[in-house]
Structure 1
Amino acid sequence: MLGAPLLGDGTLLIAERFGVEVPTFQGEGPSTGQPALFIRCSRCNLTCTGCDTKQTWDWSQYQPAEVSTRETVAELARWALSSPVELVVVTGGEPLIQQQRLLPLVRELLAAGRRIEFETNGTIGPDPELLVDGVRFNVSPKLESFGADESRSIVPAALAAFAASGRAAFKFVATGPDDLGRIADLVEEHRLAPVWVMPEGTTAEAVIATTRAIADQVAARRWCLTTRLHTLAFENASGR
């Protein structure tokens, strides 16, 4: 849940940022394997039971003051630009909750030659000022199998905005072959493309097993298949 109201002082609520001090990669989707920096925004508008970043929203398990900090655009830009890495991934939680406050950061990073990817659950449409060269949205609608309430996690107007933008890739988490039919329904109903399917799993063994279970059917549908590189390479170590 959102928790306390978002800040009115121009700062951003950040759960963590990493990739400068200890280098890492983008682990999912179209840019898998590319060097990347990550800015993880705090707060989310969904409460998926399958979420692996509950520290951004689940205040029954975490204290907000202990797992999020206030950071200014200047602080975040200075940190990101201290690295030569071009790709900056803004994730969450749900980063588009704070998209108005993120606009100045996006402008500064783009002006410095960086590329930006937003990892979003696709429930909040993008601000028109974010629909510019150098910005891409990796839109991951959450399914019932992920522990989401689809009456909240599937927002047709937002999906339509992303699909029309020409700047989105649609990435679905599949727990197994049974999810692929539901994904196909959503893809057809909302005219989503390009489509990426990612195996669910928090261990290398689980990721490999799910990949093998879904690979043939994903290929048959002419969709893209992505792995979870962070899990395979770093065993979900914090800050990687």
Structure 2
Amino acid sequence: MTQPRPVASGVSMYDPASSLIVAECFGVEVPTFQGEGPSCGHPALFIRLSRCNLTCAKCDTKYTWDWSRFDPHKESTRRTVADLVAWAASSPVELVVITGGEPLIQQARLVPLVRELLAAGKRVEFETNGTIAPVPELVAAGVRFNVSPKLASFGVEEGRSIVPSALEAFAASGRAVFKFVASSVADLDRIAELAGIHQLSPVWVMPEGSTAQAVTETTRALADAVAARHWYFTARLHVLAFADARGR
């Protein structure tokens, strides 16, 4: 019998202490795609972790943190690293997206998960708000960080959502892209300011919108200005394809 690999803390991935607080996992039973950023359109599995350190008004996954509207006992469960690895390994899909909420809140327990996913032949993308710098063990070959700093227009104070030291750590890692949600050309000016101050590159812009019509309208409003800045532009494929249905 193969022995479990030890993790940095000395805890086996099979130990209940290595469990994570998970909101949902999807992509195995009903296949789906990564809907945003550099891997947009790639078949993907999603592990959505519960909890967030921000309270953005325009967040589309409030069931991971807004306990005034949602019941945390119904919206989250604990799953061991071994269970999550077995779930992902049951699919031939290579890409595993770890998202939230804010996944790096639980990053100490993510180290063994990522290690085992990579060993199983997967590649990993984190969707993070960029307020928490990654531990060195997560900055590894086969791992990418899609860092999405939240602007004031997203309904959050930038004093909380823009953390210079964390952004600069992601930039220095060589494994991050910076994906900003924008709703207006004025947002692009703010993105350019942040990118210049913190040396964020490459920059991706994603149009805000939770319906196909809204995404299309915002895309058309921003396209010329994004192209003029020589930035990357990403759709919201899950909104266009699945009407922003949960679990797709």
- Check if 1:75 corresponds to 2:93: no
Matched, 1:118 2:144: no
TM-score (norm 2): 0.93
2:247 counterpart SS class: coil
Match of 1:229 in 2: 237
Give 4+ residue runs of structure 1 displaced > 3 Å after superposition.
none
AA aligned to 1:102 is L
Aligned counterparts of 1:71 and 1:100: Cα–Cα separation in 2: 15
Alignment partner, residue 43 of structure 1: 51
Separation in 2, partners of 1:73, 1:10? 6
**1:107 match:** 115
Q: Does 1:65 align with 2:61?
A: no
Aligned residues: CA RMSD: 0.8
- Return the letter of the residue paired with 1:88: V
How big is the shift at 1:10?
2.3
Alpha-carbon distance between aligned partners in 1 of 2:150 and 2:164, rounded to the nearest angstrom: 13
Task: State the Cα distance separating 1:113 from its structure 2 match.
Answer: 1.1
Displacement, 1:9?
A: 2.8
- 2:5 is matched with which residue? none
Structure 2: distance between partners of 1:74 and 1:9: 11
Number of matched residues? 233
Matched residue, 1:192? 200
Unpaired runs of 5+ in structure 1? 1-7
Identical pairs, percent: 72
Unaligned runs of 5+ in 2: 1-15
Q: Report the CA distance between 1:178 and its aligned residue.
A: 1.5
Whichever residue aligns with residue 102 of structure 2, its letter is E
User: What's the offset of the Cα at 1:146?
Assistant: 0.3
2:19 to 11, 25, 32: 11
What letter matches 1:119 in structure 2? E
Within a 5 Å distance, the mapping from 1:133-212 to structure 2 comes to: 133-212=141-220
Partner of 2:94: 86
Separation in structure 1 between the aligned mates of residue 192 and residue 24 of structure 2, nearest angstrom: 34
The CA distance in 2 between the partners of 1:15 and 1:149, in whole Å, is 25
Please identify, of 175-184 and 49-58, the stretch whose mean Cα deviation from structure 2 is larger.
Answer: 175-184
Deviation at 1:238, TM superposition (A): 1.6
TM-score (norm 1): 0.96
